């Protein structure tokens, strides 16, 4: 399996379109981080500026964007080798289906998760460079929340892997993920107190800072955030994300190991 993983990484590193998509997504991410600056934040008073710490409390747009990028990479890393029969040749040359499946799955999961995290950090970094950090929330809390995104990202990547192996067409898989994301965005989700019913609710809860408001007659309304999520939620999020991710992989493998490969 080690060789299959190496082959996957080699293939990825020698495919120009992946670089182009990656660069485009990073540019988009940087643009989001620079929006305030481009809107003229440098001419504002210090207290009027939307600093990086403020940006961190409303970063869910970037997270959604990174999930869109993940759909592309998962679809092409997992399913592209079926159209040119690379996967078939692997098995004809004596590789097990298990190896073909888990090599692609592990590469996709790691790459997608890393991509998601890099994208979020890039956006935040650009905002920090241009607008300063501010004092809405400490950097450590923001970093922890973003790093915790690793787990729902893994869960989501596993789902993408499972669907990609069901469909085995990269374009169609990408379309299916896109459809899934659209449906989830359109439907209004019920309140999920546990925050782990779906990967989306975990991400939402990680990115939502509990807040309350204070105001004075002359000082206007100020939002005060609670930097860290609850410990119980963090534990739930990690355990459920890993367990459900594993379940997706098992279902995907179960289907793939007896699927017709034409």
Partner 1 sequence: MGKLETLDIVMLVLLPLLSGALWYMVGYADRVKNSKWRLLWLVPVASCFLIVYVSGLEKLLIPAYLASAVTAVGLFIPERKTRRAASVASWVLVLISLPLCLFSKTYRSVDYVKDFNDGFESMKAHYVLAEHKEVDWDALYEKYLPEFQAANKAHDKVANEIAWYKFCAEFHDLHVNFGSDEKTRDAAYTRVSGNDYGLVICTLADGRTVAIEADESLSEKGIRNGTEIISWNGIAPAEADELNELKQMYSFADEDNEKFYEGFFAAGTGGDTAEVVIKDESGAEKTVELTELSGDYYSRVKEAFKKIKGGMNVGHMTVTKINDTTACLRIKLMQFDSLSEKDNHKQMKQELCDNIREMKNQGVRDIIIDIRENGGGSGTMVKAIGEVFAPEGEYYYVSDAYFDHDKKCYVSEGDGKWKTVGDVTVKGENILGDEGRIVLLVGSDSVSAADHLTKLMSGFENTTVMGFTGPSGSAQGVSPIKLKSGTFSYSSSLMLNKDGTIFIDCGTDMQADDDAEVIIPFDENALHAIFDDGNDYLMDKAVEYLAEIER
Which positions touch partner 1 (CB under 8 A)?
A: 135, 166, 183-184, 187-193, 197-198, 212-219, 222, 224, 251, 254-255, 258-260
Nearer to partner 1, 17 or 217 (CB): 217
* Least gap, CB of 120 to partner 1 (angstroms): 24
* Least gap, CB of 76 to partner 1 (angstroms): 21
Nearer to partner 1, 30 or 141 (CB): 141
The secondary element (H helix, E strand) that includes residue 51 is: none
**103 closest CA partner among 213, 247, 1, 205:** 1
Distance (Å) of CA 24 to CA 61, 88, 177, 222: 16, 32, 19, 36
* Least gap, CB of 167 to partner 1 (angstroms): 10
DSSP state of 118: H
Nearer to partner 1, 31 or 189 (CB): 189
* Cα 83 to Cα 164: distance, rounded to the nearest angstrom: 12
Residue with tokens 């090599």: 103
Nearer to partner 1, 23 or 96 (CB): 96
* Cα 76 to Cα 159: distance, rounded to the nearest angstrom: 14
* Least gap, CB of 214 to partner 1 (angstroms): 5
In terms of phi and psi (left: phi > 0; alpha: psi -120 to 50; beta: otherwise), the region of 87 is: alpha
Nearer to partner 1, 48 or 215 (CB): 215
**104 closest CA partner among 153, 151, 155, 164:** 164
* Least gap, CB of 52 to partner 1 (angstroms): 16
**136 closest CA partner among 216, 56, 43, 205:** 56
* Least gap, CB of 184 to partner 1 (angstroms): 7
* Cα 169 to Cα 167: distance, rounded to the nearest angstrom: 6
Give the tokens for residue 135: 């004092």
Nearer to partner 1, 175 or 251 (CB): 251
């Amino acid at each position: 399996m080690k060789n299959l993983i190496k082959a996957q990484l080699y293939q990825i590193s020698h495919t120009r379109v992946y670089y182009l998509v990656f660069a485009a997504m990073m540019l988009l991410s940087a643009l989001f981080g620079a929006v305030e600056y481009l809107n003229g934040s440098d001419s504002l008073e210090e207290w009027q500026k939307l600093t990086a710490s403020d940006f961190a409390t409303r970063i869910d747009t970037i997270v959604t964007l990174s999930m869109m990028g993940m759909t592309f990479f998962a679809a092409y890393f997992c399913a592209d080798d079926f159209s040119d029969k690379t996967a078939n040749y692997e098995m004809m040359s004596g590789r097990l289906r298990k190896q073909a499946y888990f090599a692609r799955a592990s590469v996709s999961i790691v790459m997608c998760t890393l991509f998601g995290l890099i994208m979020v950090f890039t956006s935040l970094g650009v905002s920090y460079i241009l607008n300063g950090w501010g004092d809405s929330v400490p950097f450590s809390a923001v970093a922890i929340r973003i790093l915790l995104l690793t787990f729902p990202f893994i869960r989501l990547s596993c789902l993408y892997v499972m669907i990609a192996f069901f469909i085995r067409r990269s374009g169609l898989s990408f379309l299916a993920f896109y459809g899934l994301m659209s449906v989830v965005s359109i439907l209004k989700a019920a309140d999920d107190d546990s925050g782990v019913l779906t990967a989306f609710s975990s991400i939402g809860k990680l990115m939502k800072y509990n807040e309350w408001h204070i105001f004075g007659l002359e000082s206007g309304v100020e939002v005060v955030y609670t930097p860290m999520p609850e410990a119980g939620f963090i534990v739930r999020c990690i355990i459920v994300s890993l367990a459900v991710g594993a379940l997706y992989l098992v279902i995907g493998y179960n289907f793939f190991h007896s699927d017709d490969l034409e």
